[in-house]
């Protein structure tokens, strides 16, 4: 398994981050293939990549087709039994890949594995996979905890973050990879839930450690970013039929508070609302996804806790 790893990195500008990420991958303790899918960079990323890292497989998309579409193209360009998605603003410890893929060898039923992503300085957790509340809203698992706490913390794991997560190729192919209708945000949550609904289990490895620079690639809570976040939420609310479920009231109230807070307090525009409406319309007529199993959903993320988590995420991304 460790000799058959494809590391897929989507890029759109940010050459310095990409160069640093690729330099860290050169130090990995297991063989792997790196595939960079470039979303129409204008900073010379493809040319610099060929000159500095000729061993890297480059897929040029010509324009910015979005995170999901770029990752899917990268996965199709490889043949590894394991696919690792990695943001270009993530720097890995030398044993990162070796640790991350370990669970696949031990259990054929595991479809995905989450890494431990730390914030710069390595004193706080950025995410240890994804946690999902009963309305199927996703959150960075164990956000802001100390890395020393992660082994003792009890929070149900839905699956890995798309910023740094591993997938068994057979599982990825079985569910069709990432949903390309969503340009950016929430598509990793959706993939985690579809894998769990399809019967695949997941794992998290505390020793698979990387540092995530954060919003360096996407920008810091811009109107575009908030629109895309809203789009993903509106789209998946409809794909999973949440507003026709027993959690409809909670979901509606939560989204109303989130949109109102964004419009009246934080950003004072309607980007988040417009994004949700656009996402809802985009999902019209599409088949509904099945609800994932109970062990993929954390009932301890109450209504109040979900609002607290959203505030925490907002502060982190706008810092």
| Chain segment 263-290, per-residue pLDDT in tens | 887 788 899 999 999 999 999 999 999 9
Domain span at residue 236 reads: 223-318
Residues 105 and 161 reside in one and the same domain: yes
Q: How many domains does the chain have?
A: 2
Place of tokens 């579409």: 69
Over 50: is that where the pLDDT of 217 sits? no
Domain boundary among 212, 242, 275: 212
Residues 228 and 202 reside in one and the same domain: no
- Scored b (16 or more CB within 10 A) or e, 79-104 reads ebbbbbbbbbbbbbbeebbbbbbbbb
What is the predicted pLDDT for the residue at 104? 97
Q: What is the dihedral of CA 262, 266, 271, 273, to 10 degrees?
A: 10
What is the predicted pLDDT for the residue at 140? 95
- Give the residue ranges of DSSP H helices in the chain: 15-25, 45-52, 67-76, 96-106, 169-175, 187-197, 223-239, 248-261, 271-282, 303-318
Domain boundary among 151, 183, 212: 212
Is residue 218 included in any domain, yes or no? no
Contact between residue 2 and residue 28 where contact means Cβ atoms under 8 Å apart: no
- The C-alpha atoms of residue 140 and residue 34 are separated, in whole angstroms, by 26
Residues 235 and 107 reside in one and the same domain: no
What is the predicted pLDDT for the residue at 267? 80
Contact between residue 151 and residue 165 where contact means Cβ atoms under 8 Å apart: no
Residues 299 and 172 reside in one and the same domain: no
Residues 33 and 98 reside in one and the same domain: yes
Residues 183 and 48 reside in one and the same domain: yes
Is residue 149 included in any domain, yes or no? yes
Domain boundary among 212, 242, 261: 212
What is the predicted pLDDT for the residue at 316? 63
What is the predicted pLDDT for the residue at 155? 86
Is residue 275 included in any domain, yes or no? yes
Residues 141 and 236 reside in one and the same domain: no
Q: pLDDT for 106-151, tens place per residue?
A: 899 999 999 999 999 999 999 999 999 999 999 999 999 999 999 8
Q: pLDDT for 299-315, tens place per residue?
A: 999 999 999 998 888 76
What is the predicted pLDDT for the residue at 111? 98
How open is the CA angle 69-212-32, to the nearest 5 degrees?
60
CATH code of the domain containing 147: 3.90.550.10
Residues 20 and 115 reside in one and the same domain: yes
Averaged over 60-79, what is the pLDDT? 97
Average pLDDT, the chain: 93
Q: pLDDT for 85-112, tens place per residue?
A: 999 999 999 999 999 999 999 899 999 9
Residues 189 and 302 reside in one and the same domain: no
What is the predicted pLDDT for the residue at 218? 45
What is the predicted pLDDT for the residue at 169? 98
- Scored b (16 or more CB within 10 A) or e, 291-308 reads bbeeebbbeebebeebee
Residues 150 and 271 reside in one and the same domain: no
205 contacts: CB under 8 Å, gap ≥ 6: 99, 100, 102, 103, 113, 114, 115, 116
Residues 166 and 17 reside in one and the same domain: yes
- The C-alpha atoms of residue 269 and residue 149 are separated, in whole angstroms, by 38
Over 50: is that where the pLDDT of 153 sits? yes
% of the chain beyond a pLDDT of 90: 86
Over 60: is that where the pLDDT of 219 sits? no
What is the predicted pLDDT for the residue at 315? 67
The confidence band for 215, taking pLDDT boundaries of 50, 70 and 90, is very low
Pick from 15-19, 222-226, 239-243: least confident:
222-226
Over 70: is that where the pLDDT of 319 sits? no
Residues 230 and 302 reside in one and the same domain: yes
% of the chain beyond a pLDDT of 70: 95
Is residue 103 included in any domain, yes or no? yes
């Amino acid at each position: 398994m460790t000799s058959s790893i494809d590391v897929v990195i989507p890029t759109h500008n940010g050459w310095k981050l990409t160069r640093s990420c690729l330099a860290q991958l050169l130090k990995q303790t297991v063989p792997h293939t790196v595939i960079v899918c470039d979303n129409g960079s204008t900073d010379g990323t493809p040319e610099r990549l060929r000159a500095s890292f000729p061993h890297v497989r480059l897929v040029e998309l010509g324009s910015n087709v979005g995170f999901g579409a770029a990752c899917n193209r990268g996965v199709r360009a490889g043949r590894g039994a394991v696919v690792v998605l990695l943001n270009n603003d993530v720097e890995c410890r030398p044993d990162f890949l070796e640790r991350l893929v370990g669970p696949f060898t031990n259990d054929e039923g595991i479809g995905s594995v989450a890494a431990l992503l730390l914030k710069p300085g390595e004193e706080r957790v950025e995410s240890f996979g994804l946690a999902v509340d009963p309305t199927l809203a996703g959150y960075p698992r164990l956000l802001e905890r100390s890395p020393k706490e992660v082994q003792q913390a009890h929070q149900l794991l839905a699956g890995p973050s798309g910023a740094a997560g591993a997938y068994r190729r057979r599982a990825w192919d079985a569910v069709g990879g990432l949903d390309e209708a969503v340009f950016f945000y929430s598509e990793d949550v959706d993939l985690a839930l579809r894998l769990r609904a399809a019967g695949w289990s997941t794992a998290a490895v505390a020793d698979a450690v990387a540092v995530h620079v954060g919003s360096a690639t996407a920008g810091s809570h811009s109107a575009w970013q908030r629109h895309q976040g809203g789009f993903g939420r509106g789209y998946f609310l409809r794909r999973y039929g949440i507003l026709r479920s027993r959690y409809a009231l909670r979901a509606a109230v939560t989204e109303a508070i989130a949109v109102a807070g964004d419009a009246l307090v934080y950003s004072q525009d309607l980007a988040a609302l417009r994004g949700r409406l656009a996402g809802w319309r985009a999902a019209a007529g599409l088949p509904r996804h099945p609800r994932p199993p109970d062990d993929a959903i954390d009932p301890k993320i109450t209504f109040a806790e979900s609002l607290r988590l959203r505030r925490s995420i907002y502060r982190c991304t706008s810092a």
